[in-house]
Amino acid sequence: MQIQDLPYPDPGVPDARSGPRFLWWLFRNQAGGQLKSLAWGLLHFVSVSSLPFCVGLAVQAVVDRSGTRLALAGGLMALACVGNALGDTFLHRTAITNWITAAARVQQLLARKAALLGSALTRRVAAGEVVAVSTGDVEKIGWFVEAVSRFTAAALTIVLVCVGLVVYEPALGVVVVIGLPVLALAVLPLLPRATRRADVQREKAGRATELASDTVAGLRVLRGIGGEELFLDRYRHASQEVRHAAVRSARMWSLISAIQVLLPGLLLIAVVWYGVHLARDGRIGVGELVTVYSSVMILTYPLRHFEEIAMAYSFSRPSAKRAARVLSLERATDTGGSRAAGLPTGDLYDPATGLLAPAGRLTAVVCGDPDAAGRLAERLGGHPSEEGPSVLLGGVPLDELPLDCARTVVLVQDKDPVLLSGTLRELLAVPASGAVGTAEALAAARCEDVLAALVQGSVGTEDPMDARITERGRSLSGGQRQRLALARSLVTDPEVLVLDEPTSAVDSHTEARVAEGVRALRTGRTTVVFTSSPLLLDRADRVVFLHDGAAAAVGTHRELLHSEARYRAVVTRETDEETAAREAVTPLVKARAEDSGPESALAGGVRADDDVLHRLEEIEETA
């Protein structure tokens, strides 16, 4: 796989049982690139390590006044330089390729998992952790996967040089062979502590990222309640904790680096001291001493890769653990589906709650628990994140359909829909039936003021469709974002449209117009709206009231206001005192009507109903 060939057609199925298993899976899936990197790394390190032998041969040739051996040494040195240049160049290319392709594979896996889990992802994993995994963690994972092949090449080179030194000059070669393992293993006792400090740093950085993400997402609200400085102080404190943890981690790694510099220096001193004694005794020549000295000095370069691989693993292990945790999350249902792909039609029925949404009608659902309403909305879309009985559409279980088919036939708009950055034309360029145009959808969602605001905010743009929307629509108000998201859902024109509180941030006047627009545009289509707004409820064909996870009452909005006290309490926000007062007044009205005769009773009953309705309307307006 080359960088220009990204993204992967299929990133594969990761081994997400643990962080180390995930790293090993990534390494195995890049076997070709790793072998290339190993080959070029061997050429590079062997070429560098062979230079001391060439220099020693040249020095000894000068001492022996041998022109032939001097020319041979020069040719070998030139060949080593060429090998060094080629090996270093292509090692860098293959290493960067392995790094980027590994990171890209992880990002693709995370993106697919996020698309598969949907809103369930942030309910299981904090949003800040997801951001940390998909940004900084993928780079650290790619770093370790890439560094393995370079470390292997360096280790093999050290072995080859040690064998060569023992054969070339046994007396000094044995000293080097004994000293190098000590150099390589001397830092092992420090690695667990360095790893723990790195883990603490990663944990604190993840918390700071999560806090920053939450603060930015709620910045408008924080400014409204004067909590901006409070959260800013919290982030300052969190960032200082990250800084302190990073300093403690850096201290440990600087100690490891110092040891990696000090011990090779001591080994070099020992080799020189022992070599000088051997040279004085005439047991080795000057060229041999120069060769061994240069070899030991050159070996400090591949030895550096021992420190790098330790650091790379220490930093990538917690990152791989977090990535594996996200990638191991699964839906409660089989997203592949056991039923042949198809688009069923008919009534929408939820066996768990008894909710029935007749085909072609606008059904409003009132639920006193917003979290329960959100879970039910997700279940209506098929393949929910939690286990439970499947919702039926025309008698067909949605969980048995492939996920893409279930999403095509039933579209669920979340309570907090996300607007991606780009132009309005790009925002509305979604898979659609073609029966609803963008102009119709925008008109039904009452987006006239939104279009004007977008044009005003985009310099040099006259067509609203070419106006740009900022990230998550932050330049728009909450109501404007809701209406644009509603227009996007209306353009899709699914067989069943489920809307979760689509007008919670819209004023009452606009809400009434939106309700009329949605009802007119969705005529003949099944629409389910989760809401407690009387303006929407009054325009629904039928209203289902859910209590304690079950459908407790069904009827029109006005029927349920008179017949169901629990429904009235949820919709009108009626307090206990108001309920007691109304119940105390109603018998008096009825008694007065009975004393006044049939005609007066009828008139009194009408007046009583009017008074109740008037009072209910006042309560609704107040709410």
- Tens of pLDDT, residue by residue over 410-445, are 999 988 888 888 899 999 998 888 889 999 999 999
Q: Lowest-confidence range among 157-166, 297-306, 527-536?
A: 297-306
Q: What is the pLDDT of residue 608?
A: 41
- Identify which of 69-73, 599-603, 619-623 has the greatest average pLDDT: 69-73
In the predicted model, is pLDDT for residue 513 greater than 90? yes
pLDDT of residue 579: 57
106, 409, 505, 513, 556 from 448: Cα distances, Å: 42, 29, 16, 12, 31
| Over residues 99-117, mean pLDDT | 88
Query: With bands split at pLDDT 50, 70 and 90, how would you rate the model's confidence at 533?
Result: very high
Sequence letter at residue 333: T
CA dihedral 168, 171, 175, 176 (to 10 degrees): -10
Q: For residues 506 and 97, what is the distance between their CA atoms, to the nearest angstrom?
A: 50
Here the tokens at position 549 are: 């996870």
Q: Which residue has the higher pLDDT, 304 or 363?
A: 363
Q: What is the DSSP letter of 28?
A: H
pLDDT in tens, 379-396: 898 878 777 888 999 999
Please state, in angstroms and rounded to a whole number, the distance separating the CA atoms of residues 444 and 355. Answer: 27
Please name which of 4, 305, 323, 328 lies closest in space to residue 136, comparing C-alpha atoms. Answer: 323
Tokens 């993204």 identify what position? Answer: 7
Mean predicted confidence (pLDDT) in 211-230: 67
Condensed to tens digits (0 to 9), the pLDDT of residues 137-187 reads: 888 899 999 999 999 998 898 888 888 888 878 887 888 888 878 877 777
For residues 124 and 139, what is the distance between their CA atoms, to the nearest angstrom?
Answer: 23
pLDDT tens, 307-356?
788 888 888 888 898 899 888 888 767 676 667 656 888 999 999 999 99
Position 623 pLDDT exceeds 50: no
In this prediction, residues 362-372 reach a mean pLDDT of: 90
Q: Where are the alpha helices (DSSP H) in 522-596?
A: 534-537, 557-563, 565-572, 576-595
Confidence of residue 51 (pLDDT cuts 50, 70, 90): confident
Q: What pLDDT is stored for residue 620 in this prediction?
A: 46
Buried b / exposed e over 296-335, threshold 16 CB at 10 Å, is: bbbbbebbebbbbbbbbbbbbbbbbbbbbbbbebebebeb
| Higher-confidence position of 265 and 151 | 151
* Strands of 392-393's sheet in order across: 355-357, 348-350, 392-393, 396-397
Pairing state between β 355-357 and 422-423: unpaired
Phi, psi of 100 (to 5 degrees): -70, -40
**For residue 24, is pLDDT > 80?**
yes
The dihedral over CA atoms of 393, 399, 405, 408, expressed in degrees to the nearest 10, equals: 60
In terms of phi and psi (left: phi > 0; alpha: psi -120 to 50; beta: otherwise), the region of 540 is: beta
Distances (CA, A) of 393 to 252, 345, 347, 411, 496: 61, 6, 6, 13, 9
- CA 508, distance to chain mean position in Å, is 36
Q: What integer pLDDT is reported at residue 612 of this predicted model? A: 43
Percent of the chain whose pLDDT exceeds 90: 31
Contacts of 224 by beta carbon, 8 Å cutoff, 6+ apart = none
Alpha-carbon distances, residue 230 vs 205, 211, 212, 221 (angstroms): 19, 12, 13, 13
Please state, in angstroms and rounded to a whole number, the distance separating the CA atoms of residues 284 and 275: 8
DSSP state letter for 422: E
Average pLDDT score over residue span 295-316: 81
Res. 447: pLDDT tops 50: yes
Is the Cα torsion angle 137, 142, 145, 149 positive or negative in sign? Answer: negative
State the virtual CA torsion across 558, 561, 566, 567 in degrees, nearest 10. 30
Are 342 and 401 within 8 A, CB to CB? yes
Of residues 118 and 568, more confidently modeled: 568
Lowest mean pLDDT among 238-242, 406-410, 516-520, 589-593: 589-593
Residue of 428, 436, 424 lying closest to 488 (CA atoms): 428
d(CA 499, CA 489): 9
> Quick one: pLDDT band at residue 223, thresholds 50, 70, 90?
low
